[in-house]
Structure 1
Amino acid sequence: MKHKKISRHAVNKTPSRLETIDEEREVSFGDSAKSELYAKLPLLEICTYVGWSMFAWFCVISSLYQSSQKHASALHSSSLLLRGWQLLGDTRQDGADVEWRFWKMTINSQFLLMVLVYVLIMRVVEILIPLKRELAWTILSVSFLTIFYEWQLPAMLVVHTFVSFLASRSRSTRIVWIVSTLQLCSLYVEGANSIITAYFGFPHLEHAKFFTAICIIKLVSFSLECCDEENLPVSPSSENTQDTLFDALSYALYLPFVFAGPCTTYDLFRTQMNKPVEPLNKEMLWGFLSEFIRYTLALLAVEFFLHFLYVPALAHRKDILREESFPTLSAVIVLSLVFFQMKYLILYGFPRAIALLDGFSAPLPPVCVLGLYSFKDMWKYFDRGLHRFLVRYIFIPLGGSRQGVLMNIMSAAVTFLFVFFWHGPQSFVFVWAILNWFGIMLEVLAGKLGRTLYAKDMDAWLSGATYRRLMGLVLVLPNTFIVAANLVYLHGEETLKIQIKNMLFSGHPSQILWIFVSVYCNLQMNLEARRIWGKRYLCTKGYYFRSNPKEKEA
C-alpha cells in the first residue's frame, strides 16, 4: 500500500477556507479587543471574585444536599434512585439520567473483556500484518456488535452503509443529502420504524436508532468526501483512486467510535489511517494511560457525587421543583450543566483513549461549561467533532460567514435545522436549536458592532481594566441566556419555565442580584484564567498529556 500525503479538501473545493474554520474573522461578543478583555486586575479584586464564588458554591451545594436527603424517599418511590455503592453503606444513587444509566448497564465485565480482547488483537495485527489492521477491526467490530446486540444491529448498520456508498458513487452532493435525509427519516417516521421492526425484530429499537444515528452522520461525511473527485485521495485498502465499500464499512464500524462517538470526519480519519503503522512505544502508552486514568477518575467522581446530590432526579420531578428554594434551584441548574459536560467527557474520553493505541487522535473531549461564556465557543469546544462536521459540510458550502451577514444567518439557520433533525424532531430539541442559532447570530452582530465602536479610539479614554469590568457586566446577560438555552435540551421547556418563574419572578428581588453577581464573578474568573494561561491552552486542553506533544486538535 502506498502512503500518500492526503490533501484536506472541502466539498466546495476551497480548502483554504476550511483551515481557519472561522477562527480568525469570527470572534465572540466582547472579543473585539482581546488584550483589553484580558487586562490585568488588582489581586484583591480577583480574590473577591474567587471568595464570592466559593461562598455561592457552598450555599447552593449545601442546600441541594439537604433537599436531596429530604426527598430521597419520594425520588426512590418514583424509581429515580438506584442502589448505591455498598462501600458507602445503605445509600441510594441518582439513576434518573437515561443515557448515563444505559451506558452503565452496557459497560459490564463482558463488555470490558471484549475491549481488552480488541486491544490485544489489534496490537498483534499491527506487529505481524499491519496492512490488514483495517480488516481486523472491521471483523472485530461486527463480532462485538453481534455478541452484545445480536445480528440485527450490525445488519442494520451494514445496510445503511451500503445505501450511503451507492449515493456516494453519484458524485452529487444533492443526491447524498437526499439519501441521508431519507435515512434519518427512517429512524423517526413511525411507519418506517414498523418496517424496521418487522424485518429486523429489534428487542430494543431505541438503542438501535441511537447507534444508527451516529453511524449515519459518519456516512454523510464519507459520501460528501467522495463527491470531491479532483482531490479524492488514494484508498488505504487498495491503490484505487476511489474509496471502496470496505473503506466505508471500516470507517463507519470502527469499534472505539461506533457506540457513542466522538464524531470524526472521514478526511481526518483517512489521513491518520494512511499513515504508516507505528509500533506501540512508551510515548503512546503513556498518552493512553494518562488519559485513561483521567477519565476513570472523572467517572468515579461523578458516580460518587450522584450518591449525595440528586440533580437529574430532582429535575425530573416538577412537583418538587415548584416547592424548592432559590439556592436548590440554582444548584440544579449549574450542576446539570456540569454533569452534562462530565458525562460526555467520559463517553467521548474512553473511546479516544482506546483509539490512541491504534494511532488515531480523535477530537478532544469537551471543556468545562463553566469556562465558556459565548455560544460560539460552547459549540466549538464542547462537541468538537460535531462542530467540525457542521462547519465543513453545511455551513461553509452554503456560504458561511464570508458572504455577508444575511448569508451567514441563513447558513447558520440551515446548520441548526440539521442539528435539530439529527438529534430527533422533538419540540424541546427544536426550541434548543432555535435559541442557540439566535444566540450565535446575536454574537456575530454584536461582534461586528463592537469592532466598529472600538475602532473609534476607545482606548484613549477607557483603560484596559475598566474595559474588562465593563465587558464583564455586558456579558452577564448572554452568559445567562446560554445557560437557559442549554437547560431546554437537558430538562425540557416546562422544567425551565418552573425554574425561571421561581427564581426571577416569585422570589425576593435580591435573587436577581445574587444571580447577576455570581455570573459576573464567574466571568471574571474565566477571563483571569485566560489571561494567565491563554484561551487556546485552556480550550484545546493543553494541560493534557499527549502521546505526541505536537498533536493538533482534530
Structure 2
Amino acid sequence: MLAGASWRLHKDVADFEWVMWFTSFRNVIIFALSGHVLFAKLCTMVAPQLRSWVYAAYGALAVMGTMGPWYLLLLLGHCVSLYVASLLGQPWLCLGLGMASLASFKLDPLISWQNGFVTGTFDLQEVLFQGGSGFTVLRCTSFALENCAHPARRYSLADLLKYNFYLPFFFFGPIMTFDRFHAQVNQVEPVRREGELWNIRAQAGLSVVAIMAVDIFFHFFYILTIPGDLKFAGRLPDSALAGLAYSNLVYDWVKAAVLFGVVNTVARLDHLDPPQPPKCITVLYVFAETHFDRGINDWLCKYVYDHIGGEHSAVIPELVATVATFAITTLWLGPCDIVYLWSILNCFGLNFELWVQKLAEWGPLARIEASLSEQMSRRVRAVFGAINFWAIIMYNLVSLNSLEFTELVARRLLLTGFPQTTLAVLFVTYCGVQLVKERERTLALEEEQRQDKEKPE
C-alpha cells in the first residue's frame, strides 16, 4: 500500500493495471493520446482523406519510439506473413497461422527470443510487449479472415498496417474487427450526428469522475488487498465475505469501463464507433452474456463461437464451439494452471445452461412449466438465475483473485454458512435477478412498440 497524501490513509495499490494507468505512467499515456488527438484534428481539418494514413504513421512512430525499431520490424513480419496467407483465400490457414503467431508470444522459447527485439529495459516493457504483440496478431487475423471472406475486394497490405497501428487501440485494446474499422476510418467526409460531440464530452467527464471516485474509494476500502490475506479474510462475517467477492467483480467491471471509456473517447473523436464497455456484473445472470472485454468477445463470437455453434441450439456443435473459443481464450490469456481452470469452469457453465434449457423443453417438464402462471414461471427462472449468478462470480473469482480465496468463499457460503447465509445470499440475489428481468422485459416492450410505430401504414 502507498500513503495517501490528501487523506492521510493508506491507498490500496494491489491492482498494477490501475496504478499504471492513473499513477505511475499517467503523464506518458496522456501525452501520447493528446499527440494523437492533435495530429488527427489537424489532418481532419486539412486533408480528411489522409487521416487513416496519419493515424498509422503516428502510431508506428510511437511504437518505434517506445519499443525500438527492431520490435516494429518484428510486428511488421507478423503482419506480412498473415497478409500473404490471406491471399491464398483459405480461412483455416489464416486462423491456424494467427494462432501459431499468438502462441509464439505466449510460450517459451519463442517469447523470450522475440522479447529480445525490444530496445532497452523499462518498467512497462512486459505489459507493452504482451499487449502490442497479442492485439497485433488478433487484428492481423481479423484482416486475413475478412480478406478471405471478401475476395472481390482484396484489401491491401497498406489497409492492414493502417488498421494495426491505430495508436489508441494498439497496446491495450479494445479490438475492432477489420471490416468495421475499415468502413469507418475511410469515410472521406465524416459527419457527426446531432448531439454526438456533447455525448463525447459527457463520456470524458464521466470517466474523470469515475477515476476520482475509485481513487478515493481505494483510500477507505481494501477490496483488492484483503483477499490476499486469507487469515484476515477468514475472520470476516459470511455476509462481508460474500460482499467482498461480489465487489471484486464489480471493480473489475468498473476498471474495464473506465479504461475502455478513456480510449473510446479518443476513438469517437476520430469518428469511430468502438466496442462498448462490458455489461455490469450486477445485471448478468447467464454465462452467454458474461465478458469483461466486449472487443475480444465480438472477435471470438464472429470468427469462432458463432461460426461453429450456429444458432447455439444444438448440444454437440455448442460443445465444440465453446471448447474452441475457450482454447483460443486460454492462449490469449497465457496458458497456466489458473487459466486452464478458469476456462474449464466457464466452458462448463456455458454448456450447462444449454443442457438445462434442453431439459426444460423435455415433454414432462415443459408441460409442468406450461401449467404455471406467467408470474410463477418467472419466479422459478429467477431462482435458477440467482444460482447461476453466483456460479458466474465464483468461476471468475478464480482468475481475478486466487483459487484459495475462491475456496474460502465457497466453503463459507455453501458449507459452514448453510443454511442461513446460503439462503439469505440467494434471496437477495433472487430479488436482484427479478429486478433485472423486469427491466429487460420493459425495455423489450418499449423496443417492440417503437418498431411498430416505425412500420409503414
Q: TM-score, normalised by structure 2?
A: 0.89
Corresponding residue to 1:116 among 34, 37, 42: 34
Q: Deviations over 1:405-444 (max 9, x none)?
A: 2122112211111111111101111111111111111112
Q: Deviations over 1:312-335 (max 9, x none)?
A: 111222333233332331122010
Corresponding residue to 1:310 among 222, 225, 239: 222
- The alpha carbon displacement at 1:455 in A equals 5.7
Distance 1:223 1:105 in 2: 38
Corresponding residue to 1:215 among 136, 144, 154: 136
Give the aligned partner of residue 435 of structure 2. 525
Give the aligned partner of residue 452 of structure 2. none
1:405 and 2:315 aligned: yes
* Residues 71, 117 of structure 2: 8 Å contact kept: no
1:513 and 2:431 aligned: no
Distance 2:102 2:446 in 1: 35
Would the alpha carbon gap of residues 129 and 201 (structure 1) be closer, same or farther in structure 2, given more than 3 Å must change? closer
Partner SS for 1:190 = coil
Partner SS for 1:277 = coil
Percent of paired sites with the same residue? 25
1:283 and 2:201 aligned: no
Give the aligned partner of residue 147 of structure 2. 226
Give the aligned partner of residue 162 of structure 1. 80
Figure out how many residues of one structure are paired with residues of the other and give that number. 443
Quick one: higher RCO (CA 8 Å, sep 6+), 1 or 2? 1
- The alpha carbon displacement at 1:280 in A equals 6.0
- The alpha carbon displacement at 1:276 in A equals 3.0
Distance 1:508 1:455 in 2: 31
Distance 2:13 2:398 in 1: 20
Give the aligned partner of residue 341 of structure 1. 253
Distance 2:233 2:155 in 1: 54
Amino acid of the structure 1 residue aligned with 2:6:
L
Distance 1:440 1:110 in 2: 40
Q: In structure 2, list runs of 5 or more residues that go unmatched.
A: 448-457
Describe how 1:343-492 pairs up with structure 2 within 5 A: 343-379=255-291, 382-401=292-311, 404-452=314-362, 456=367, 458-459=369-370, 461-492=371-402
Higher helix share: 2
Q: Deviations over 1:174-200 (max 9, x none)?
A: 321232122122222221133223343
Corresponding residue to 2:2 among 73, 78, 82: 82
Amino acid of the structure 1 residue aligned with 2:185:
M
Greater shift, 439-448 or 219-228, is seen at: 439-448
* Residues 329, 499 of structure 1: 8 Å contact kept: yes
Distance 1:269 1:87 in 2: 43
Amino acid of the structure 2 residue aligned with 1:349:
G
Partner SS for 1:300 = helix
Would the alpha carbon gap of residues 526 and 110 (structure 1) be closer, same or farther in structure 2, given more than 3 Å must change? same
Amino acid of the structure 2 residue aligned with 1:82:
L
* Residues 115, 129 of structure 2: 8 Å contact kept: no
Q: Deviations over 1:45-83 (max 9, x none)?
A: xxxxxxxxxxxxxxxxxxxxxxxxxxxxxxxxxxxx123
1:493 and 2:407 aligned: no
Would the alpha carbon gap of residues 171 and 149 (structure 1) be closer, same or farther in structure 2, given more than 3 Å must change? same
Corresponding residue to 2:184 among 272, 279, 294: 272
Distance 2:28 2:16 in 1: 21
Q: Deviations over 1:449-502 (max 9, x none)?
A: 33456864845x422222222222232222211111111121132221122223
Give the aligned partner of residue 451 of structure 2. none
Distance 2:398 2:320 in 1: 23
Amino acid of the structure 1 residue aligned with 2:128:
H
Give the aligned partner of residue 8 of structure 1. none
Amino acid of the structure 2 residue aligned with 1:330:
A
Distance 1:83 1:153 in 2: 37
* Residues 122, 136 of structure 1: 8 Å contact kept: yes
Would the alpha carbon gap of residues 525 and 186 (structure 1) be closer, same or farther in structure 2, given more than 3 Å must change? same
Q: Deviations over 1:317-359 (max 9, x none)?
A: 2333233332331122010011000010011111111111111
* Residues 171, 229 of structure 1: 8 Å contact kept: no
Would the alpha carbon gap of residues 492 and 507 (structure 1) be closer, same or farther in structure 2, given more than 3 Å must change? same
Would the alpha carbon gap of residues 260 and 189 (structure 1) be closer, same or farther in structure 2, given more than 3 Å must change? same
1:100 and 2:18 aligned: yes
Would the alpha carbon gap of residues 201 and 191 (structure 1) be closer, same or farther in structure 2, given more than 3 Å must change? farther
Q: TM-score, normalised by structure 1?
A: 0.74
Give the aligned partner of residue 17 of structure 1. none
* Residues 122, 133 of structure 1: 8 Å contact kept: yes
Partner SS for 2:219 = coil
Q: Deviations over 1:80-103 (max 9, x none)?
A: x1232x332x11111101222232
Distance 2:240 2:170 in 1: 38
Amino acid of the structure 1 residue aligned with 2:116:
A
1:198 and 2:116 aligned: yes
Distance 1:223 1:182 in 2: 14
Would the alpha carbon gap of residues 273 and 187 (structure 1) be closer, same or farther in structure 2, given more than 3 Å must change? same
Would the alpha carbon gap of residues 328 and 223 (structure 1) be closer, same or farther in structure 2, given more than 3 Å must change? same
- The alpha carbon displacement at 1:243 in A equals 1.6
Distance 1:149 1:106 in 2: 18
* Residues 202, 208 of structure 1: 8 Å contact kept: no
Partner SS for 2:11 = strand
